[in-house]
Amino acid sequence: MRDHPLRATPRGPRRRAGFGRFAARSRKFVVGATILVLITTAALLAPRLAPYPVTEMHVLDRFAPPGGRYVLGTDFFGRDLLSRILFGYRTSLLVAALSVVFAMVLGSALGVVAGYAGGTVDSVLMRAMDILFAFPVLLLAITIVVVLGAGTLSTVLAIGIVYVPIFARIARAPALVVREQAYVEAARALGQRPSWIIARHVLPNVSTPIFVQATINLATAILFESALSFLGLGTQPPYPSLGLMVSEGRNYLELSPWPSVFPGLAIVLAVLGFNLVGDALQEILDPRLRQTWAAAS
Amino acid sequence: MTAYIIRRIVLLVPVLAVISAIVFSLMHLIPGDPAQVVLGFENTDPAQLAAVRRDLGLDRPVYVQYGRWLGRILRGDFGTSVRTGRPILTLLAEALPFTVELAIYGVLLAMLLGIPVGVLAGATASRAADGALQTLTLLGLSLPAFWVGAMFILLFSVHLRWFPVLTYPALLEAPWANLRGMFLPALTLAVPNAAAIARMVRASMVAVRREEYVKVARAKGLREALVVRRHMLRNALIPVVTLIGIVTGYLLGGSIVVEQVFAIPGVGRMGLQAIVQRDYPVLQAVVLVVAVLFVLVNLLVDVIYVALDPRIRYA
């Protein structure tokens, strides 16, 4: 069964070469990817790069301005802002990545099963997804956090659950189409198990839109995590979180704006990175958008 | 049209039933004894606990409890706040106008900012201008509302002193002062949504641009401005209506953050305070009201959508 003649999904190499060519030409993609690589590296190497321990207080240097001993200055407790931002990135990226992976796996699984099975399974699953859509996202996330108790893991689950229906809808549509294709019928006629057909024929067809959506959702997940932390429902002090830093700094804006300004800029940079890459991917991978561009310009 | 509206309203019933069931089960999902949850965790008087248990009907089957709870809500009885002892309906009546005003104000500003930018990007022949506007809107989508709010306060209220800090008189009593005080919060809400609207309008304009009727308009020698306004814009804005609905819903939820930043006594802040103070009946009411408003806004948008585009007819 390894190299089945009925396998209809084109193999990777050619497509990947095409992807590389398009990606290199897209300035959005290059800029976004550069930002993301830098940020991820900084987050991974935070323990080595941070000039000071994250919770170390320099009482004599409270609200130090940027420059000098503290590159980005210090906060109310005299904690080094750069060090806290580096560690804050760790939390942000980790929560964003975990929640999106959770939503992607669960959501695409539900969507593919619903689309492939059809009938009652489809109706029940998709109505359940509609109900999740009936709540404003932030309100739903907050409610989940309240039920689970504030903390990093709850944040991951809250954001993940909110995103599940998005992935379910995206995965369902191509699954519905693929189900009717001759090669799937052939596979069924050959007596393949449904799980094998889904893995071999359906998943490759849904992976591209899912992948693009995941990139975009990473951007919004970072915003989400920071908003929950800002509200005091995400990462708990004294652990550094970018949203929490903005919130803490907000009370002393007149004394020193930097403890709010820099973490906010850090969030914007990360979100912009994901948005640039997501936007570029959409243009590169969706031929319709590419044609739109050609026709429009 | 009327048949469509009626059908949509009928379809709303099961959705609202499930939403109310979820909100009802909040009490049981929050760790701990529901009676203790209602009473607040500091109050451990056994007599009062027993009274609340009886009152909630916790000895009865869950569906009976749900029915009684729903019955009360439908009669406008949301219970009383555990913290203040005031009727929750009164609290909602005080807070809701702020949130609704903020959402409407925010949507209006978002449209005012977003539509022209989108039209410009979609109608321009210059690829550089389009690219620049696209980058601008992408940046707009990347801004965290709470940070933008804090920066607005810092810049416009603290440094420039253009806007008063955190004062919100009632809209009907002092309309001008109210609109002035609410401007920065509404603008904060509007920024990312203006970006989303601009991108949608642009994409829509680019799609419309290839339509036959636009080619015909050009071919018959209409001025470009007229082609854009009369033939492209009208059609391009139809899908935008849906987005504006989504935006409005988002604003209802998103205003939680903005209300917190700007200390606006709206429903979002009420809900957040309820979480901090573990005033769960208030939280329940807030979640229910916001979710129901959200569903109703979406219904309204779908109806407008059908009314706007005669090509769409949901039989």
Residue pair B24/B66 in contact by the 8 Å Cβ criterion: yes
Q: What is the pLDDT of residues A128-183, one digit of tens each?
A: 888 887 788 888 888 899 888 888 899 999 999 999 998 998 888 888 888 888 88
pTM for this entry: 0.84
The reply to whether residue B257 touches residue A138, judged by beta carbons under 8 angstroms, is: yes
Closest Cα of chain B to A232: distance in Å? 9
Alpha helices in chain B (DSSP H): 2-29, 34-39, 46-56, 62-74, 88-123, 127-141, 145-152, 175-181, 183-208, 212-219, 224-226, 234-236, 238-262, 267-276, 280-308
The reply to whether residue A139 touches residue B31, judged by beta carbons under 8 angstroms, is: no
The reply to whether residue B147 touches residue A276, judged by beta carbons under 8 angstroms, is: no
Residue A13's pLDDT band, with cuts at 50, 70 and 90, is very low
Residue A290's pLDDT band, with cuts at 50, 70 and 90, is very low
Residue pair A91/A120 in contact by the 8 Å Cβ criterion: no
Angle between the N-to-C axes of helices B238-262 and B267-276, in degrees from 0 to 180, rounded to the nearest 10? 50
Residue pair A163/A107 in contact by the 8 Å Cβ criterion: yes
Q: How far apart are the first and last CA of chain B?
A: 9
Residue B315's pLDDT band, with cuts at 50, 70 and 90, is very low
- pLDDT of residue B194 exceeding 70, the answer is yes
CB contacts of B206 in chain A (<8 Å) are: 292, 296
SS3 at position B80? strand
Closest Cα of chain B to A135: distance in Å? 5
Nearest by CB: A275 against B22, B141, B146: B141
Residue pair A226/A242 in contact by the 8 Å Cβ criterion: yes
The reply to whether residue A139 touches residue B253, judged by beta carbons under 8 angstroms, is: yes
Alpha-carbon span B135 to A270, nearest angstrom: 15
State the average pLDDT over residues A68-86. Answer: 79
DSSP per-residue string spanning A258-278: HHHHHHHHHHHHHHHHHHHHH
CB pairs under 8 A between A and B: 127
Q: Which residue has the tokens 């991978």?
A: A285
Provide CB contacts within 8 A for A131, sequence distance 6+.
Answer: B15, B18, B19, B22
The reply to whether residue A296 touches residue B206, judged by beta carbons under 8 angstroms, is: yes
Q: How far is CA B220 from the centre of its chain?
A: 44
State the average pLDDT over residues B238-263. Answer: 79
Closest Cα of chain B to A7: distance in Å? 35
CB contacts of B154 in chain A (<8 Å) are: 253, 257, 260
The reply to whether residue B138 touches residue A149, judged by beta carbons under 8 angstroms, is: no
Q: Nearest chain A Cα to B247, which residue?
A: A136
Alpha-carbon span B189 to B254, nearest angstrom: 7
Closest Cα of chain B to A197: distance in Å? 34
DSSP per-residue string spanning A18-80: HHHHHHHH-HHHHHHHHHHHHHHHHHHTHHHH-SS-TT---GGGTTPPSBTTBTT-B-TT--B
Q: What ipTM is given for this predicted complex?
A: 0.83
CB contacts of A295 in chain B (<8 Å) are: 209-210
The reply to whether residue B146 touches residue A227, judged by beta carbons under 8 angstroms, is: yes
The reply to whether residue A247 touches residue B272, judged by beta carbons under 8 angstroms, is: no
CB contacts of A254 in chain B (<8 Å) are: 158
Mean pLDDT over the full length of chain A: 81
Report whether the peptide linkage leading into residue A51 is cis, meaning its omega lies within 30 degrees of zero: no
The reply to whether residue B275 touches residue A146, judged by beta carbons under 8 angstroms, is: yes
The reply to whether residue B252 touches residue A219, judged by beta carbons under 8 angstroms, is: no
Which among A55, A54, A75, A53 has a CA at the least distance from the CA of A64? Answer: A75
Residue A276, pLDDT score: 92
SS3 at position B87? strand
Q: Nearest chain B Cα to A295, which residue?
A: B210
